[in-house]
Structure 1
Amino acid sequence: MFKAQTISAILFAAGLHTAFAQGLNPSTMPRIAQVDPRFQSYNIEMVEVIGGRFWKPYASYDKEAPAKSTNNPTGLDPNLYEQRRPIDLSNPKLRRLASALGPVYLRVSGTWANTVYFQDSDAPAPPQPPKGFGGTLTRSQWKGVIDFVHATGSKLVTSFSVSEGTRDSAEVWTPTQAKLFIDATHRLGGSIAATEFINEPTFTIAAGTPPGYDGVAFGRDYAIFRAFLRQASPQTKLLGPGSVGEGIPFVPVKIVPSTDLLQGMGPNSVDAFSYHFYGTISERCAKAMGPNQGTTPAAALTEEWLDRTTRVEEFYASLRDKYEPGKPMWLTETGQTACGGDRWASTFLDSFRYLDQLGRLAQKNVQVVMHNTLAASDYGLIDEATLAPRPNYWAALLWHRTMGATVLDPGPSPSATVHLYAQCAPGKPGAVTLLAINLNRTEAAAIELPQAADRYTLTAGELESRDVLLNGKELSLTARDELLSITGEATKAGLQPLPAASITFFELAGAKNAACMK
């Protein structure tokens, strides 16, 4: 699509405001960070595994009769949710698509994990969970997760139930359920690579904890959990505190500050410092939260929106430096917006946030980023009904295939609306991949490369389209639901156009960057 003879035409059409970047030298870009090989990972919500009411996709928003009752740990309007059967993790198509993104960390957690009862038998779950719990996870369902982890080459991450049913008469957490859960995991041939104690303990309205739960109570329970985990599963990395809702204006509800949680935990309490990030809440929840909530498609390519990732990371990194200095950072849940994503979360428009977020956080040395979700609601990488890959899936696939674990400094960007990121190409000693994101909706830009490259340019006819083009051709599965071979377009050294509102990976096999030789 972008042959040499078309470059001048693209740039001419862009007018006098076209931005250029000269002096890029992939051979000498210095190493600035090293991330986990499973840096790009994802979540499957516990409610998907057990079945239940999760964020209703907008496509069915007006089709379902209003709900009358619910096991609803968020306390929000039940009509925001849709009943789901348990996800079929044995589905060959789902496994193929997931495997293509691997290796990853697969996190099975979320709000519903805070109140789930583990039933250590293969009998069907009862209509109602035991008293003090909000749902039931059967042993056969958990075996399905473990089988999926093995089939996709993943490593398992989770969290534990902390609701009334796990507590004694003094409302102190007990490890009885947790022991059943871990013992069954081991018997089923699984292992837990890493875990948080509670999903989002700052957000007590949905944490399943007793009324008035605070940092002191959390610290007490956390000490019990930590001692238990070290004995029951010593190889498991302990992540925490797993906070959300801080660093930027988020939602107008009371939270337990992370400082209170960390003070309650005491020093040297985690193996990695974890947090969650959403730039705001989706229109589902925004309507219930009052004015000035949420965001719009018009803001999707703005620096203010994209920089929220940086602001929240810096907020939690400062807490890490104070309370857990030297510990790696993990972002264990993120997505376009909380509450299932906006309508445009499933379109190409959100791929700019998705990839820009990965680039920013890799440069910050955040070790792992877990997208929510693999295949549920509007922010899923895969459509839950058809299992069709969405634009963010294709973005994730290109990141996985071209961006390795060694992070480089690409140097200055040609303009404020062109973001550049660079990493060693995986499995190709010396090779460098440069990611160029042109956020300008109307004007092209260009960069000058000193070497030949294979380019992979993502565009769409309309930004809010669910179809995405790679080098001008629509990305899709084969008639047998298999991935096509994805190859780049060979380009010579020199000026490379960046079309308006485009995302381009340049893989430079001949860079011979010393930082990428290993």
Structure 2
Amino acid sequence: MLPLAALLLSCLSAAASGDPRRNGTLSPEASAVWDVSRVQRSVDERFLSLAVDASLVVEGKFMYLLGSSKLRTLAKALTPAFLRFGGTRQDFMVYDPASIRSHGYHHHHQNSDFTADSCEKLELPPLLEERLRKEWVQQETLLRKEDLERKYKRVKFTEYDVDLLYAFANCTKMDLIFGLNALLRTPGNVWNSSNARSLIQYCESKHYKMSWELGNEPNSYEKKAGVRVDGYQLGQDFVHLREILRESKFYHNAGLYGPDISQPRDHRRDLLEGFLQSASEVIDACTWHQYYVNGRDTSLEDFLDPEVLDTLILKTNEVLETVNLVTPQKKVWLGETSSAYGGGAIGLSDTFVAGFMWLDKLGLAAKIGMDVVIRQVFIGSGSYHLVDDDLEPLPDYWLSVLYKRLVGREVLSVEIFSGFVLHGKRKLLRVYLHCTNRKSASYRNGSVTLIALNLSNKPARIALPAPASDSPVDAYVLQSNQPTKEGLYSRSVTLNGKLLQMVDDKTLPDLKGVFLPPGEHLQLPGYSFAFFVLPEARALACQ
């Protein structure tokens, strides 16, 4: 028999304060069981990854925002990670090496042979940054209009844009994935690779280490561009791209990911099946996109609804079944994902409540079979960004930093039984368990991190069983800066009661847990989520 440790969870009827140390009366409403003797599955160390939306390049001057030292400070805290450059506009982008930008911005890096000190040199001057931020707000209105009308113009980008993008990835230590245009097609409806070839040659001449994708959401090409590409042909296009990469000494073994399809609708999987039949050998991971709701008609209640959160299981299983039929063992990624499609839900996707969808997705995706989850978007148009138009970090950003620091690659099993229920079977307390990330946190072997989400306005109380009850706990409890339901709309977040904000443009605050001595109950206030690190859990799986 595997040594099972039982973890008792129960809810308080009396309201508890936000202080994780506060005790209350125990009611035996919910209990959970965890197994820390073996690893259920492991994810990539870049599991939580980021996207920069290709809309940034629609007017090239906005690429200079990637030179902001504040933005780079924020990005560095989220490594190791992939940085995906792609999205809807990627299939309207054409590489044009000849054209020189005429937007009056001095190209302020002369050479792109990046050394450690060139990252300092490439920084954006503060006055220019301020001007660009103001202009970006107007640009977003134009981009939104384009998205609503589905009328997309061709966008030219130059080697300067590629340099700025690569400098950002390189100086923040992220692994760049560049999305190529799959809508450049011959009269016979085969991908025309000549434009991609010249871009790849340029990147090779600069020794830019990067991976590649081809096309974004090919299932919607007809709606966006009046072009139909079936899965098998798309797969052939990927085979062709892989040949181009293999011919290159530098990109011989470069990563290639695809097909970046939208989540299955009405259980249709023909595009993915056809694609995998012709291309499963040439891709390093199969990518698909997932959003829970439509940003234009969703509600606060959706963001807190366990049934909405569980739709991820259904969609993931459909994709995994398809992949495993054709190519078992192939890694599967959420190649683009956030709360709401259509650019996010204004006033929800950029507020505290979005954290419930984001943290639950990270917990659930790791558990049910995803290897990497790419968050749409670090910076770019829409309201599901981690960093807002003033380059201020939003609540989901802080949550992501804590996840990176405290949550390791190894997924452990934890199950909740009975209790903490509202309206029948809706579980409003959700938990996930991982080994602690010992690389970035100074925790010892055998430590575990419990992720807990309380979707109810009532506080919950968690009692730890032996042997875990002998371990002290570091509690990292995240709440809105206003405790009421109104606080769910806040764009600020507190850690153990302290407001999180940058110290200055180059310094993040200390993110410290509250120390709980062994034997204390864990408190989870209403509408909160938390990471509880047990440094002396002595988990066999985490040794």
What range describes the TM-score normalised by the shorter chain of this pair? Answer: 0.7 to 0.9
Q: 5+ residue gaps in structure 1?
A: 53-83, 284-293
- Asked whether 1:119 is paired with 2:96, we answer yes
Partner-residue secondary structure (3-state), 1:373: strand
Aligned to 1:34: 42
Cα deviations by residue, 1:226-281 (Å, 9 ceiling, x for unpaired): 322333322222222221031568xxxx9973234334x25534221111111132
Whether 1:472 aligns to 2:485 is no
Q: Say if 2:256 is the partner of 1:230.
A: no
Separation (CA, whole Å) in 2 of partners of 1:38 and 1:207: 31
Contact kept, 8 Å, 1:20 with 1:447, in 2: the verdict is: no
Superposed CA offset, 1:325-354 (max 9, x none): 110111110011111100200011010110
Do 1:106 and 1:155's aligned partners in 2 also have CA atoms closer than 8 Å? yes
Equivalent residue letter for 1:508: L
Name the % identity.
26
> For 1:289-319, what per-residue CA distance to the aligned partner results, in whole angstroms no more than 9, with x for missing partners?
xxxxx42111211111101211111111011
Change (3 A) 1:20 1:169: closer
The equivalences for 1:256-267 within 5 A come to 257-263=271-277, 265=278
Q: 1:489 to 1:456 in 2, by over 3 A?
A: same
Whether the 8 Å contact between 1:38 and 1:103 is mirrored in structure 2 is: yes
Choose the corresponding residue for 2:215, options 198, 213, 220: 198
Question: How has the CA–CA distance of structure 1 residues 213 and 273 changed in structure 2, closer, same or farther, with 3 Å as cutoff?
Answer: closer
In structure 1, distance between residues paired with 2:311 and 2:64: 32
| Residues 434-472 of structure 1, C-alpha deviations (whole Å, 9 max, x = no match) | 111111133434332512110000111211111111111
Matched, 1:146 2:156: no
Residue number in structure 2 paired with 1:90: 67
- 1:425 Cα deviation from its structure 2 partner: 1.2
1:307–1:237 CA distance, 2 compared to 1 (3 A) = same
The match for 2:290 is 277
2:31 paired residue number: 21
Which SS does the other structure have where 1:347 is aligned? coil
Of the structure 1 ranges 368-377 and 215-224, higher mean CA displacement relative to structure 2 is found in 215-224
Question: After the TM superposition, which residues 260-339 of structure 1 pair with which residues of structure 2 at under 5 Å, given as runs?
Answer: 260-263=274-277, 265=278, 268-283=281-296, 294-339=297-342
1:51 to 32, 56, 59: 59
The answer on whether the counterparts of 2:411 and 2:434 sit within 8 Å (CA) in structure 1 is yes
Cα pair distance change 1:447/1:504, threshold 3 Å: farther
SS of residue in 2 equivalent to 1:504: strand
1:168 to partner: Cα distance:
3.2
2 CA distance for matches of 1:352 and 1:248? 26
CA distance in 1, matches of 2:331, 2:459: 39
C-alpha contact 1:146 1:188 (8 A) present in aligned 2: no
Of 435, 451, 458, 1:424 maps to 435
Say whether 1:347 aligns with 2:332: no
Question: Is 1:364 aligned with 2:364?
Answer: no
Q: CA deviation at 1:516?
A: 1.6
Amino acid at match of 1:177: N
1:440 is matched with which residue: 447, 450, 456? 456
Q: Deviations over 1:3-32 (max 9, x none)?
A: 686221xx58xxx6x74436667xx35310
Q: Distance in 2 between matches of 1:4 and 1:86?
A: 43
User: 1 CA distance for matches of 2:323 and 2:446?
Assistant: 33
Q: 2:535 aligns with which of 504, 509, 512?
A: 509
**Alignment-derived partner of residue 388 in structure 1:** 392
Alignment pair present for 1:167 and 2:185: yes
Q: Distance in 2 between matches of 1:185 and 1:479?
A: 34
User: 1:66 — aligned with what?
Assistant: none
* Distance change (3 Å), C-alpha of 1:247 and 1:405: farther
Shift of 1:473: 1.3
Q: CA contact under 8 A between 2:30 and 2:416: conserved in structure 1?
A: no
Aligned residue number for residue 82 of structure 2: 105
Q: Secondary structure at the match of 2:218?
A: coil
Which of 489, 493, 496 is equivalent to 2:522?
Answer: 496
Name the structure 2 match of 1:56: none
CA contact (8 A) 2:93 2:156 kept: yes
Scaled by the length of structure 1, what TM-score is found?
Answer: 0.81
Quick check: 2:34–2:413 contact (8 Å CA) kept in 1? no
Aligned to 2:199: 181
CA distance in 1, matches of 2:510, 2:177: 31
Q: How much has 1:410 moved relative to structure 2? A: 2.4
Q: Tell me which of 401, 406, 415 is aligned to 1:402.
A: 406
Structure-2 change in CA distance of 1:248 and 1:424 (3 Å): farther
Cα separation, partners in 2 of 1:106 and 1:248, compared to 1, 3 Å: farther
- Structure 2 residue identity aligned to 1:39: F
Counterparts in 2 of 1:5 and 1:45: CA distance versus 1, 3 Å: closer
Equivalent AA in structure 2 for residue 236 of structure 1: A
| Structure 2 Cα separation of the partners of residues 117 and 315 of structure 1 | 34
- Output the amino acid matched with 2:47: F
> How far apart are 1:488 and its partner, in Å?
0.3
Q: Please give the secondary structure, in 1, of the residue aligned with 2:341.
A: coil
Amino acid at match of 1:43: A
When residues 255 and 123 of structure 1 are mapped into structure 2, their CA distance, relative to the original with a 3 A threshold, is farther
Q: Distance in 2 between matches of 1:247 and 1:324?
A: 22
Question: Normalised by the size of structure 2, how large is the TM-score?
Answer: 0.78
1:182 to partner: Cα distance: 1.1
**How far apart in 2 are the matches of 1:512 and 1:5?**
23
In 2 relative to 1, CA 30–426 (structure 1 residues): closer, same or farther, beyond 3 Å? same
Deviation of the 1:214 alpha carbon:
2.5
- Cα distance in 1 between the residues matched to 2:463 and 2:265: 34
Higher relative contact order (CA 8 A, sep 6+): 2
Does the aligned pair in 1 maintain the 2:63–2:164 contact within 8 Å?
no
Residue type of the partner of 1:137?
F
* Inter-CA distance 436–212: structure 2 relative to 1 (3 Å threshold): closer
Instruction: In structure 2, give the amino acid aligned to 1:33.
Output: R
Question: Distance in 1 between the 2:431 and 2:269 partners?
Answer: 36
Q: Is the 8 A contact 1:457 1:503 kept in 2?
A: yes
Q: Give the 3-state SS of the residue equivalent to 1:357 in structure 2.
A: helix
Residue equivalent to 1:374? 378
Query: Alignment length, in residue pairs?
Result: 454
In structure 2, what is the Cα distance between the partners aligned to 1:317 and 1:255?
Answer: 11
CA gap 1:29/1:347 in 2 versus in 1, 3 angstroms: farther
Distance 2:331 2:311 in 1: 20
User: What amino acid is aligned across from residue 417 of structure 1 in structure 2?
Assistant: L
| Partner Cα separation in structure 2 for residue 4 and residue 239 of structure 1 | 43
Change (3 A) 1:307 1:479: same
Q: Indicate how the Cα distance of structure 1 residues 85 and 269 shifts in structure 2: closer, same or farther if over 3 A, else same.
A: closer
CA-CA distance at 1:171 after TM superposition: 3.5
